[in-house]
A and B are shown apart, each in its own frame.
Chain A
Amino acid sequence: MSTQITPAAGGRTPRAAAEQEEAEVRRGHEAERSDRTRAEARLGWYLAGPAFVVMLAVTAYPILQATYDSLFRFKLTAQDEREFIGLGNYSMILTDPVFWSSMLVTVFITVVTVLVELVLGFALALVMHRAVRQLRGLLRTAILVPYGIITVVSAFAWFYAFDISSGFVNSWFDWVPGIDENLNWFAETGPSLFVIMASEIWKTTPFISLLLLAGLAQVPSDLEEAAEVDGATWWQRLKRVVIPNMKAAIMVAVLFRALDAFRIFDNVFIMTGGANNTQVLSLLAYDQSISRLEIGLGSAISVLLFVCVIAICFAAIKLFKVDLAGARGES
C-alpha cells in the first residue's frame, strides 16, 4: 500500500531511487491484488461453500457408505447376521456372467445412443442456429419438448405405443417389412433394445443439441466468411472450420451424454424390467439392493458402476483431451 520513499533513498542516484520507487509501487499493487484475490476467494467460498457441503453430504457420504457396505454380506431383513467378507462381493460379481452381460448391454446402449444422438443433435443444432430469427424461439421450444418430459412418463408412452395389445405402432407401420399385428416388440432382445434406445434418443437428443448449439455460437463468423470468400463449399466449411472450432463443445456433449447413458435405468425398468437380455448395470444394482434387499451386493455393484463412470470421465479427459474450461470459453 505504502508508496512512500524511504529516507535512505535520498542518498542514492535519482535513477536508482526511481527504480526502487517503481518496485515499491509494484509490490504495493501486488499486495493489493493478493488482498483482492483473497477476498474474492473468500467470497467464492461463501457462495460455493454451502453447495460444497451439501455435495459432500449427499454425494461423498453415500459413496463412502456404499463402499463400506460393499465389504459386508448384509441383508436388510437379517441385520444381525451382517458379516465382513472383504472383497468377496466383488469377486463374486466379477465372475458372474449376469454382470458381464449387463455390462455388455449397457456399453452397447451407451455407444449406439450417443453416436445417433450426436449426429441428430448436430443436425438439430444447425437448424436452430441457422433458423430465421422469427422462428428461432418456436423451433427451440419444439425441439426441447422431449427433454422436458419426465423419463418415466416418456418410457410409459413409448411402451404403450409399441405394446402388442394397446399399441398403435404395429398397425401404423404394418407396411414396413417385418412389422405386423403379431409383432411383440418386448418379446425378444433386438426389438426390445430398439424401442429402449429409440425412446432414449428421442428424449435426450435435445440436450446434446443444446450443448452443440452453444458450441456453434462460439465459432467466429469471420472465419466462416473468410472460408466462403475463398470458395469453400458448405461441407468443406463445416468440416474444416466449424467442427474443429467447436471440438471442445462436442467432446463435452459426448462426455455428459455418455455418463448419462451409461447409467440408463428408467426405460429398461418400465419397458422390459430386464427381460430378454436387456438387463443393464443400474437395474442389476437395483435388483440386488432394492428387490433382494442385499445391501452388500447391491452396494458393490453400485461401486463398480461408479468406477466405470469415473473411468469414462478419465478416458475422455485424458485420452481425448476434453477441456471442460474450453467449453466455457475460458481458454
Chain B
Amino acid sequence: MRRRRAAAGALGLTAAVVLAGCGGQDGPPTLTWYTNPDAGGQAVIAQRCTEEADGAYRIEVSNLPREASEQRQQLARRLAAEDSSIDLMSLDPPFIPEFANAGFLAEIPADMAERVSEDVVAGALAGATWEDELVTVPFWANTQLLWYRESVVEEAGLDLDEPVTWDQLIEVVEEQDLVLGVQGTKAESMTVWINALVASAGGTIVENPEAPTDEITLGLDSEAGQEAARIMGEIGGGGLGGPGLPTADENANLSVFQGDRASFMVNWPFVWTATVDAVDAGTLDAEVLEDIGWAMYPQVVEGEESRPPYGGINIGVGAFSEHTDLALEAAECIATPENQAEYFATNGNPPASTAAYDDPQVQDAFPMADLIRESLEQAEPRPQTPFYNEVSTGLQETWYPASAVDPGSTPASSAEFITAVLRGERLL
C-alpha cells in the first residue's frame, strides 16, 4: 500500500517536472542568436525585433568568444554536430565560404535575397555571397581608413586631400623618426594588411577561390605579391613600426597613435569612437583628438586606386535550426537600414546599407561617414575560399615577422608552403 502510494507520488512528481518543462515552451519559439562581443548593440536589436515580431518569435542573444578565429571554431564545431540551437549567427565574412560550402547555412529565398541586398555596398555584397548566391544577410560592413596626425602631415608638407602612397608615408616616418601604425602581430589582422597590400598592387592572393583544395593556385608569387612584400619588409626592416610591431594588433596601434611618436595608422573606424570616449573620460588630452585626420587607405602603386580591407559581420541562419523560416524573418528584421544606422551611431560599426549613411545620427557621430562608404565601395574582401583558415594561417606563418619579409623570396616560399598545406603535405 505504502509502496503504491510512493509510486503514485513519484509519478506525480515526474508529471509535474514534465509539465514544468513544457511550461517553458509556452509562448513564441525562442531563436538563439550567437553574436560577436560588442557594446551591447546586438542585444538591443534582438529586443526590438522580438517586440516587432509581436509574439511570432523571441530572440535571445548568446555571446561568442572575442577573437574572430575562435568564433569560427566554436560555430563550426557545433554546426558539424548539427546543433539545432544555432538559429542565427553573426559571421565574420572570411569564414562564410567555409560555412556555406559545408552546408552549415540555411538557404536564403530569392525574394528575400533581393530585398536584403538592396542598396548594400559592393564590398559587403561580395562578402555575403558564395558561388553567386547570397548566403548571409549583410549587417554591418567594416573598412580601414588611413588615420593621421595633422601636425605630422603639416610638417612634412603632405597633401592628404589627394591619395597618398605607402612610399610617401614611409618617407615621412623615416624623416621625422616616428612610428607607423600597422598590424604586424602574427594574427588575422596581419592577413588583413597583406591582403590589402596585394590587392592594392593589382594582385589577388588566391586566383581561383572556389576550386577544390588540391587545385587552388595562389597569386602571391607575382609582381603584386613582391610589391606588397617590399613595402612590408621596408616597414618591418627599417623599424618604422616601432619595437612593438611584432606584437602590434589594432588596439596596440591605437595606443601608439595616441602617444608622442604617432604619425599614421591604418585601422578600423572603432579607433574614432575609442578616442572620443577616452577624451570624454578624461584619460586623453583633447588636443590629440583635434590633431587626428583621416583619408582613404594608402595606395601601393601611385595613381592606382587602393583596395582597403573589408570586414564586418553578416547574419547567417543555421541550417539545422528548428525554425529556419522564423530565423530568416528575424535576420531580415535585424539588418534593416534603421537598425544598422543606430548600431553605427551607438556601437561604432559602419552599416552595410548605403541608405543608413544618410541617417543624421550617423553623420553626427562619424564626421568621416562618407569616406567610410566610399572606402567600402573600393574594399577588397579577403580570399573567399572554404579553405580560408589555411590560407590565412599560412600567410601568417610565412610573412611573420615583418622585418624578415623579403620581396625576392617571401612571396614564392609563402605560395609554395600554402599550396603544400592545402594538398595535405605539410603541417600548419
Contact = CB atoms under 8 A, between A and B. Distances in A.
Interface of A: 73, 76-79, 92-93, 96, 98-99, 163-165, 182-184, 186-187, 272-273, 275-276, 284, 287-288, 290-293, 297, 301
Contact of A182 (B243, B252, B400, B426): B243
Given A76-B80, A183-B243, A288-B427, 16 more contacts: A73-B424, A76-B76, A77-B80, A77-B99, A92-B427, A275-B185, A275-B186, A276-B401, A287-B393, A290-B77, A291-B393, A292-B389, A293-B73, A293-B76, A293-B80, A297-B424
A288 B427 CA distance: 8
Contacts, number: 80
B44 interface: no
Contacts of B401: 187, 276
B244 A288 contact: no
B80 A79 contact: yes
A165 B427 contact: no
A273 B247 CA distance: 11
Contacts of A79: 80
Contacts of B386: 77
B237 interface: no
15 contacts: A77-B386, A96-B427, A98-B426, A98-B428, A184-B244, A184-B245, A186-B246, A275-B400, A276-B246, A287-B393, A287-B428, A290-B73, A291-B73, A292-B389, A293-B77
Interface residues of B, number: 32
A184 B244 CA distance: 6
Contact of B247 (A73, A96, A98, A163): A163
A292 B243 contact: no
A165 B77 CA distance: 35
Nearest 7 CB-CB pairs, A to B? A187-B246, A77-B102, A275-B186, A182-B243, A76-B80, A98-B427, A164-B244
Contact of B243 (A98, A184, A291, A293): A184
B103 to A, nearest CB: 9
B256 interface: yes
A18 B18 CA distance: 73
Contact of B428 (A182, A187, A275, A292): A292
B425 A92 contact: yes
Nearest to A273: B186
Contacts of B76: 76-77, 293
Nearest to A187: B246
B101 interface: yes
A293 B255 CA distance: 35
Interface string B386-428: 1001100100000011000000000000000000000011111
B70 to A, nearest CB: 9
Interface in B336-394: 386, 389-390, 393
Contacts of B427: 92-93, 96, 98-99, 284, 288, 297, 301
Contacts of A99: 427
B227 interface: no
Contacts of B186: 272-273, 275
Nearest to A181: B243
Between B69, B401, B426, B427, the greatest number of chain A beta carbons within 10 A of the residue's beta carbon is seen for: B427
Contacts of A92: 424-427
Nearest to B187: A273
